[in-house]
Amino acid sequence: MGKLIIANWKMNVLPSESVKFVREIEKINTDNQIIILAPFIDLPYLRSDKLMFGAQNIHQKNRGSYTGEVSPLMLKDININYCMLGHYERREFFKENDSLIELKVRNAVNNGIKVILCVDSIKQLAANTAGVKSFSNVIIAYEPEDYIGGTKTAPKEKIVEFIKNAKELTDNKCKIVYGGGINSTNINSIKEIEELDGIMIGNSSINIDKFKEIINNY
């Protein structure tokens, strides 16, 4: 298996649209592993022999009176084994702090969910994994805040420095992907960073043509 290509659909793509989208992506011949992070309502409809699927958030508890929330046990019950946590939008719009994210990460890992943890610094990574005893089920998504939602990626030196420090912090047990400003015009420069284990794409992942182009060029 090659690199990771993670798509964050955010609050886009209806269930009926998601099935058609997946069928198109399945036609692409690639050695890379594609993981699609879809809205909760899409997940029961998404099945594939080639792609993997994950949620965009979970609750820090497994059961209880938490109206509107979804637990790791619920994901496992429908064969969803990936979950993104700590995305900038969760921190900014839903005011999720480091302590809450750390609880979510720990609960997910303890329940066998593979976590895609979004951070913009080593300090944030350390805070969000303070109680994690094993990093084998954690993928770190480095998303520097200044480049989220833009059209430019962080400088290579900044990304490589983060990778080095993150590997040291996690005893070289985590895969590390980059997200922030990736599109079809700059994917080649990101591809040159051999230290990266993959990429995470936001807005460009919900446009089938742009997403195909990125997949084909990475």
Question: What pLDDT, in 10s, does the model give residues 30-51?
Answer: 999 999 999 999 999 999 999 9
Per DSSP bridges, beta strands 175-179 and 198-201 are parallel
> Which residue among 69, 87, 161, 195 is the active-site one?
87
143 is catalytic: yes
Q: What is the pTM of this model?
A: 0.97
Q: Is the pLDDT of residue 138 over 80?
A: yes
Domains and CATH numbers, the chain: 4-217 (3.20.20.70)
> Which residue among 96, 102, 143, 213 is the active-site one?
143
pLDDT tens digits, 74-106: 999 999 999 999 999 999 999 999 999 999 999
59 is catalytic: no
pLDDT value, residue 25: 97
- Locate tokens 């609880």: which residue? 103
DSSP count for the chain of H helices, then E strands: 8, 8
pLDDT value, residue 150: 81
pLDDT band at residue 52 under the 50/70/90 scheme: very high
| Cα distance between residue 210 and residue 218, in whole Å | 12
